[in-house]
């Protein structure tokens, strides 16, 4: 079922005339991850990280993000994923004509003995039915030919999409990466001089990173950190967070660089308080009363 889900994503991308290289430039998702999605391989990273990529993919090709995630979850559980594209008018006409053709095939002509044949005159209504049957068969053949023709033309138009070399795409998007160097700040509901200020810095020039943060055990946020970008957040007492592709991220607490055991391509969990940073063995969760 995941193969069928991947096929739907690929059809939506090709319908927009977007190549994988161009998709990488739009979403800033690593090309190898987009290629894995296109091939129906969704095990390249933990599920939370994969879902974030699927949302970005859907947004880039004008699909509903939440609906796409629901389809992904259904496919992962083994449920059948129906195609969204409605049947063409030609296909509907063929389906309507099929019952009539089957009915004509099942009709049987009564067998008459020799005396009856010699005395019975040809029935004009039978001749009309035969002519109508021939016309229906001919119409079915013509419709089938038209469908094959348009299917071939659509396929040809998809295949001929010109793809730019990956290096050229990266060069064209250089300015976009530089724009993201500006610091983004998450507004805090109540700020004072005793609050903690944490900066996530993506120091890599190509790979994105996914972050899920819990503020003071009561509020949750997740976001993608693009290459060469910074996200600044605030909390009263503590942060608990999960880093996807943690090796590309630098952390600054109150403008002081933190040392922590990160690894490129790995997902790790941490807690930061006024006393420093420590690694968690399990994903953090919001506390409930």
Structural domains for the chain: 2-76 (1.10.260.40), 89-159 (no CATH), 174-280 (2.60.40)
Which tokens hold the place of 53?
């990529």
Q: What CA–CA distance (Å, rounded) separates 28 from 176?
A: 10
**Is the model's pTM score more than 0.85?**
no
Place of tokens 């296909």: 91
Which tokens hold the place of 261?
């055991």
Q: What CA–CA distance (Å, rounded) separates 92 from 128?
A: 26
Element holding 176 (H helix, E strand): helix 174-179
> Alpha carbon of 120 to those of 113, 115, 124: distances in Å?
11, 9, 12
CB proximity list for 92: less than 8 A, separation 6 or greater? none
pLDDT, residue 127, reads 79
Q: What CA–CA distance (Å, rounded) separates 26 from 33?
A: 14
Q: What CA–CA distance (Å, rounded) separates 69 from 144?
A: 36
pLDDT (tens digit, 0 to 9) for every residue of the chain, 289 residues total?
788 888 999 999 999 899 988 988 888 898 888 888 988 888 878 888 888 999 989 998 999 999 999 999 888 888 766 665 544 444 445 555 555 545 555 554 444 444 444 444 555 677 778 888 888 888 888 887 777 666 655 544 333 334 444 445 445 444 443 434 444 454 444 445 679 999 999 988 888 898 999 999 999 999 999 999 999 999 999 999 999 888 999 999 999 999 999 998 889 999 999 989 999 999 999 987 6
pLDDT, residue 181, reads 45
**For 108, what's the count of Cα atoms within 13 Å in the CB-facing half-sphere?**
3
Going by the DSSP 8-state scheme, the letter that residue 184 receives in this structure is E
Q: What CA–CA distance (Å, rounded) separates 147 from 140?
A: 11
pLDDT, residue 166, reads 41
pLDDT, residue 66, reads 93
Cβ–Cβ under 8 Å, residues 241 and 212: yes
Q: What CA–CA distance (Å, rounded) separates 238 from 275?
A: 10
pLDDT, residue 151, reads 60
Task: Write out the DSSP string of 35-90.
Answer: HHHHTT---SS-HHHHHHHHHHHHHHTT--HHHHHHHHHHHHTTPPPPP-SPPPHH
């Amino acid at each position: 079922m995941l193969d069928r889900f991947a096929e739907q994503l690929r059809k939506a991308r090709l319908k927009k005339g977007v190549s994988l290289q161009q998709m990488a430039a739009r979403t800033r998702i690593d090309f190898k991850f987009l290629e894995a999605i296109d091939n129906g391989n969704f095990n390249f990273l933990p599920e939370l990280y994969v879902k974030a990529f699927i949302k970005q993919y859907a947004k880039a090709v004008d699909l509903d993000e939440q609906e796409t995630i629901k389809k992904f979850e259904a496919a992962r559980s083994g449920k059948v994923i129906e195609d969204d594209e409605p049947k063409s008018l030609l296909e509907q006409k063929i389906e309507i004509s099929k019952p009539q053709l089957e009915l004509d095939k099942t009709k049987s002509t009564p067998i008459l003995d020799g005396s009856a044949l010699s005395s019975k005159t040809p029935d004009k209504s039978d001749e009309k039915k035969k002519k109508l049957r021939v016309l229906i068969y001919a119409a079915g053949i013509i419709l089938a030919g038209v469908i094959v023709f348009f299917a071939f033309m659509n396929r040809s138009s998809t295949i001929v999409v010109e793809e730019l070399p990956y290096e050229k795409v990266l060069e064209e998007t250089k300015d976009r990466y530089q724009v993201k160097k500006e610091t983004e700040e998450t507004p805090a509901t109540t700020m004072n001089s005793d609050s903690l200020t944490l900066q996530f810095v993506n120091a890599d020039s190509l790979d994105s990173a996914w972050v899920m943060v819990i503020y003071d055990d009561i509020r949750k946020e997740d976001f993608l950190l693009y290459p060469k970008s910074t996200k600044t957040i605030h909390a009263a007492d503590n942060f608990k967070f999960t880093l996807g592709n943690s090796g590309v991220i630098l952390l600054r607490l109150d403008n002081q660089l933190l040392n922590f055991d990160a690894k490129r391509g790995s997902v790790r969990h941490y807690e930061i308080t006024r006393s420093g940073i420590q690694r968690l063995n399990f994903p953090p969760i919001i506390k409930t009363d």
